[in-house]
Amino acid sequence: MTIEEVQNEIIDEFSMFEDWEERYQYMIDLGKDLPLIDEKYKTEDNIIKGCQSKVWVHANMNDDKVNFTADSDAIITKGIIAILIRVFSDQHPKDIIEANTDFIDKIGLKEHLSPTRANGLVSMIKQLKMYAIAYQTQLN
């Protein structure tokens, strides 16, 4: 699936929820299911700055596609990362770099997009794209 197709799939899932409670419960459940990062990658270097909760992200590339694993000590933050990883994992770096993230608004999480928001969703997206840029440079 392309990034856009995954995003549309997520928008469809969230459209079934009637209120914030169902939305957040779903995110919390996603957070619980998030494939955990290997303990050895939970290093200071892999922490994303600008979050009130701790967020670790690790990336690797296989067959020209980037894969992400991540973890956080806060469950809602984990849910948000789980969504981002689902969108950006197993994609070509060029597509990650070019992807827009308007879908976040469409699934009712716009409030998390503010750059000053303590969970740093903006910092997370930036970090994932930075990894993609680094891998794209390797491919060139």
Active-site residue flag, 82:
no
Q: Which stretch binds another protein (CB under 8 A): 23-31, 58-66, 96-104, 127-135?
A: 23-31
Q: Which stretch binds another protein (CB under 8 A): 37-45, 47-55, 60-68, 85-93?
A: 47-55
76 interacts with another protein by CB under 8 A: yes
What does the block give as tokens for 74? 């806060």
What does the block give as tokens for 128? 């994932």
Which C-beta is closer to another protein: that of 3 or that of 34? Answer: 34
Beta strands in 40-116 (DSSP E): 55-62, 65-72
CA-to-CA distance for 128 and 50, rounded, in angstroms? 14
Residues 6+ apart with CB under 8 A from 47: 54, 55, 56
Q: How many of the chain's residues bind another protein (CB under 8 A)?
A: 15
> Which one from 51, 57, 99, 132 is the annotated catalytic residue?
51
Which C-beta is closer to another protein: that of 99 or that of 107? Answer: 107
Which C-beta is closer to another protein: that of 5 or that of 111? Answer: 111
Beta strands in the chain (DSSP E): 55-62, 65-72
How do the residues of the chain divide into helix, strand and coil, expressed in percent and rounded to 5? Answer: 55, 15, 30
Which C-beta is closer to another protein: that of 8 or that of 53? Answer: 53
CA-to-CA distance for 88 and 96, rounded, in angstroms? 6
Given the rule CB under 8 A, which residues bind another protein?
Answer: 20-21, 24-25, 28, 52-54, 73-77, 118-119
